[in-house]
A and B are shown apart, each in its own frame.
Chain A
């Protein structure tokens, strides 16, 4: 049989189709234009609620459009933002002096605006991230338009830290909570929900000469590999959450720069409401049974480090070198502790983690392997993240793998993972009382002298090492990668890594 649909015809038509692709040409269209930085976010902000904790992507956007009373400098030190100075008076009340800043609509930021923010966020039904803490503020006074005085139930040294948090930015009085009218360096020009956000530099920003960029296109790239591919292909200039497996490749690329910080950390939490983990000796046994280096290798491609103490980074003034390897890998000690606790033959238990995030699952698998060596047979429970959160909150586990970052570099930021007096949460051990630790946290908050605070938190770490309400496992390297032509962006130190978006006001090309 012959037909006109022959080989030549077929080759000619497919050839023509392939030739049609030539219109694409080189990708000059994607070249950078002006001073607009294309920033690949890992996820779209689930909400613009200024005072809610809506994740790090939302935090970054809030750092672009809003400013708090205070903030953090690139080196991690506390600095004034809307407040140019702050001090505690003789009665223990905090006084903030405002600078001449303006909201994006051109009206001045006043003390009345600030007071309104505090009073709204501290309402019991506000669902604000700092609602609990702010309830300690009994009154907010505004002696003049540029002065705010906050009176607390007792003196609170850590109060300025609350107002530096990206979950407590200031918005104009009367604005809805998800307003994008702030006082930050950028204004939100447009959004394509789930896809991208377009930000424009705001000329009325109170820091002269900033921001240096004329705009930022924040584009969501949920797939970490695509994020890297987009940076390598020149589609974007800066990416967050650099996957660990790509870090070496990026470092070897002359066109790109990688900045990393060991800030977030992985750790184990326990269910203290029932045996065997209600026994501190069993928890200590777990702490000494796991070789941390293997976790860093398996979960983070060696982009992290062993964490054998409380997650206080080495660079912190509150770091205690004597506890550096307090929870060191010592299987003999672990076995002895287990026997001492009444479990010479070990036991079986369930470890909660999640299969949704590779680092959580890999960490759980390494822990499972090491615990089996001292006779603790662990069955892994790896639901998706939402279920893992609920099970953690309900205490439906024996021990669990968790990963997070503290809210700042002050040891008080660790209360959320350590303080057993706080309500049940998946981020800390379940029903595990820590009366001494809770008391020391409270004492630390009320102490203003740095040396005294150091002594308090040193004592707290010693108690935590002994009672083991959580077990530190591994530091996690958190990275930003950018084109080599991008300057001024700084990966902030320690737990402040997710505040790095602050430095976008100083970022520029060249």
Chain B
């Protein structure tokens, strides 16, 4: 198991390096000069001399390989550089933004799993019945509705009509915990809806499949109660693929909550990435992408490890 984790970690680091290199090169290939953009805010003509001076200050006149090597050297020492825009250290900004995105995703995952697994199991048990149909219909609707639609609708209902929740924004939990939770509810709920649909459908399918297996029939023949069969023999086995899907979905969400963050004005990592790309803020873009890559590959690794813990056959087969 230790060797397996070590091997996967090395592979993960290699992948992160590849991603960072590609992103670094791509950023310099696409049009858009960060110095020019910074000095052209508000559609104002930037003075060419000022642009040239700023490019020098930003280090953009160095050869590309030199910029790449200095960046890599910085990464190895934990320094991701500073924003082109205002000189804010990228590491500090990521450290501030990442927990906000993770908070939304984790809250959404908890809501989605808490509701999705029991509902999926319930639908599987009542397969073919009206509850199954109703749950399938709901999850299909949730899955096919874009987050910006869900977001706009919940803002309309909870903020503009009922006026029980703020339309959007962010207040640090240390400043006002109640307001923080209120502001968290709509974005987390919106992300949770899509995730809930996936988990519900996955749980239903896997529970249905496990229910047909021989060991469940044997357990039933042994006279175990339905509750015991469900808990010990069905749900635990059915959880493995659900967990895998949850892990993958969460990994995707780390960089993919941009619409939710935009709609609810939640200042997380995804929105930060979009604004950094818009401004061609190279240090910020590379730093954020690297963080997302690291999280994504290690989240997958974690899913594999947990799967192996739940089902020893997985680790055995791979080793």
Contacts and interface: CB of A to CB of B under 8 A. Distances in A.
Interface of A: 1-5, 7, 10, 14, 24-27, 29-30, 46-48, 52-56, 58-59, 124-129, 131-132, 178, 192-196, 219-223, 225-226, 229-230, 232-235, 383-387, 389-391, 393, 402-405, 407, 416, 422-428, 498
B32 interface: yes
Interface stretch (B9-17, B45-53, B237-245, B305-313): B45-53
Given A24-B164, A390-B33, A416 B44 contact: yes
22 contacts: A3-B227, A5-B230, A14-B115, A24-B182, A54-B42, A55-B42, A193-B93, A194-B272, A195-B170, A223-B168, A226-B167, A226-B168, A226-B264, A229-B168, A232-B160, A235-B159, A389-B36, A404-B42, A423-B48, A426-B45, A427-B43, A498-B42
B85 interface: yes
Nearest to B211: A1
B275 to A, nearest CB: 7
B30 interface: yes
Interface in B45-95: 45-51, 53-54, 57, 85-88, 93
Contacts of A234: 163
B45 A5 contact: no
B163 A391 contact: no
B103 interface: no
Interface in B145-170: 152, 155-156, 159-160, 163-170
Given A233-B159, A383-B31, A386-B31, A127 B36 contact: no
B53 A226 contact: no
Contacts of A124: 49, 53
B166 A5 contact: no
B125 A3 contact: yes
Contacts of A30: 166
Nearest to A386: B32
Contacts of A384: 278
A357 to B, nearest CB: 10
B54 A127 contact: yes
Contacts of A195: 170, 267
B30 A387 contact: yes
Given A194-B275, A233-B160, A425-B45, A393 B36 contact: yes
A220 B266 CA distance: 10
Contacts of A54: 38, 41-42
A1 B125 contact: yes
Interface residues of B, number: 69
Contacts of B54: 127
Contact of B31 (A25, A27, A387, A407): A387
Given A220-B267, A226-B167, A387-B32, 20 more contacts: A5-B230, A7-B131, A27-B164, A29-B179, A53-B42, A54-B41, A55-B41, A55-B42, A127-B54, A192-B172, A221-B169, A221-B265, A226-B263, A229-B156, A229-B160, A229-B168, A233-B159, A384-B278, A386-B32, A426-B45
Contact of A27 (B37, B40, B121, B163): B163
Nearest to A394: B31
B296 interface: no
A128 B50 contact: yes
B303 interface: no
Contacts of B178: 29
Q: Which 5 A-B pairs rank lowest in CB-CB distance, beginning with the nearest?
A: A386-B32, A55-B41, A425-B45, A127-B50, A404-B43
A58 B96 CA distance: 22
Given A193-B88, A195-B170, A230-B169, A220 B280 contact: no
Contacts of A27: 163-166
A17 to B, nearest CB: 8
Given A25-B164, A229-B159, A389-B37, A10 B122 contact: yes
Interface in B221-244: 226-227, 230
B283 interface: no
Contact of A2 (B48, B97, B155, B226): B226
Contacts of B122: 5, 10
B298 to A, nearest CB: 26
A128 B49 CA distance: 10
A140 to B, nearest CB: 20
B43 to A, nearest CB: 4
B50 A131 contact: yes
B76 to A, nearest CB: 26
Contacts of B51: 127
A46 B36 contact: no
A48 B182 contact: no
B166 A129 contact: no
B100 to A, nearest CB: 9
A131 B49 contact: yes
A215 to B, nearest CB: 15
A360 to B, nearest CB: 10
Interface string B129-152: 001000000000000000000001
Nearest to B47: A132
A48 B86 contact: yes
B39 interface: yes
B280 to A, nearest CB: 6
Contacts of B267: 192, 194-195, 220
Contacts of A46: 38, 41, 85-86, 279
Given A129-B44, A193-B88, A423-B47, A386 B37 contact: yes
